Structure 1
Amino acid sequence: MKLVRFGAAGAEKPGLIDADGKIRDLSGVVPDIAGEVLGRAGLERLRAIDPNSLPLAPEGSRYGACIGRVGNFIAVGLNYADHAAESGMAVPSEPVLFNKAPSCIVGPDDTVLIPRGSEKTDWEVELAVVIGERASYVSEAEALDYVAGYCVCNDVSERAYQIERGGQWTKGKGCPTFGPIGPWLVTKDEVDTSDLAMKLSVNGELVQNGSSNTMVFKVPFLVHYISQFMILEPGDIITTGTPPGVGMGMKPPRYLKPGDRMEVSIAGLGVQRQAVAAG
């Protein structure tokens, strides 16, 4: 099942994608793709609906962020062995965790804004995990029971803020528009995360062409691990790291500028297309 939020920014409605790839309006059934709707009972209720019984969304509707009311937006750093190598950093012995501000979340095709004064805004295609059930101290064996599904995330990053300004990485990760997610939330029964092709192009040039199979810490372990340090609530997002090909790793480094265009995709999870503009 592919769940979406569609419509004008700030006024998105819940929807699902039918067999013809069209958006069906779920606003008469649930208030949003958020919270308890993402739990096992909520998803089973949606699966029982005949999509053809739902009204079609207006043609050309904007895709919003596929999850509403996100509480925690947690990211995992250096979680791909080949990306750690291009960054000149060692593979960590435990997951590196940091937060992206939920206020940075935007739709998959919304404009990405370069922060004022930034000279090192970078791109990162990532597999994002969406929590469906409240998770605290869960075992690795049971971790996927707490997952609703997966989506594409572009973990946009300002490298000078992240690395050169002292303190933690968070300050380079949560700027406005730095968290495009979607277009869809794909429920976990339709996704095998072991070997998903992950791609990102800038101005038509393929710069990231990797796979989730080089992920160091896999999804079940990450959900288990993070739940030892905090309570994960339905609708929380964990974005799990990026394969190589980021601008910081190029020689010389290359960063985004106004007028650039990105295309971001993960097999089975859809495609994002973002223009870049000055903030």
Structure 2
Amino acid sequence: MRRPLLAALLLAAAACARRAPPPPDLSQDPAALLAAVRATQDKVRSVQGSARVRIDAPGMKVPGGLQEFVAAEKPDRLHLETLDFFGNVAAVLVASGGRFALYDAREHVLYRGEATPENVSRFLPVLLPVEELVTILCGSAPILPGRPVSVQPGDGSLLLTLAQGAVGQRLQVGELAAISSSRVRRLGRDAAGREVEDAPAYDLDLNLRRHRAGVVFPLELKLIAPSARSTVELTWGEDLDINGRVDPKLFEMNPPKGARVVELGSGQEQR
């Protein structure tokens, strides 16, 4: 990683620092802290339950929120079921084993194809690989495949910085090595040759954390995509089940009787 980007991440970490000490069980060695975070992530394998999803994006504003039934199982099994105002199914999206299907109940059309980010993110204003979306729904943040380079104190937490070339990620790590926020930044140059930073992916805030299933699990997830000027928020309902048995049939989708089937490629409708 270029030194200016690393310095900027460290400066941001210092700016976030508070007097509250970090949990005493967290290692301040970058590699050891990253290992603890990954071990915590591995404790949550699946989630399912009702949720309220709010979207604020250009051309896609849902301030009141959508009622959803959500099921996700690592690494890549996903079921999103949108209900209308009267509790009827409006749409169902499933993904598993590299395949994807989306049923639009209002149009009575089933779309299916590869589980590409373009296909899987048809409910969202942000492109996400299914594995990343499942990780987020399971209460954590996808981690860059970079090297851990530093640990700084935060507000009752530790701020772990990772580097992968010109891209850096800062993870706020709290109790039981649970991630409470993630920021990814990339260093580049503008037309005048000056060094600038941008957000190539999305930021995550994982709030309202509660002790569940042996981990500190966030009941509120907030995804912010600065470049897309988009925000997606999800709040879990009281019926959230962590690591319970998930019916494998939730991740299957056969064409409903009489539905028109549209085969999709890598993200474009085939005609």
Shorter chain as normaliser: what TM range?
under 0.3
Structure with greater proportional strand content: 2
Please report the TM-score for the alignment, with normalisation by the length of structure 1: 0.24
Larger Rg: 2
Please report the TM-score for the alignment, with normalisation by the length of structure 2: 0.25
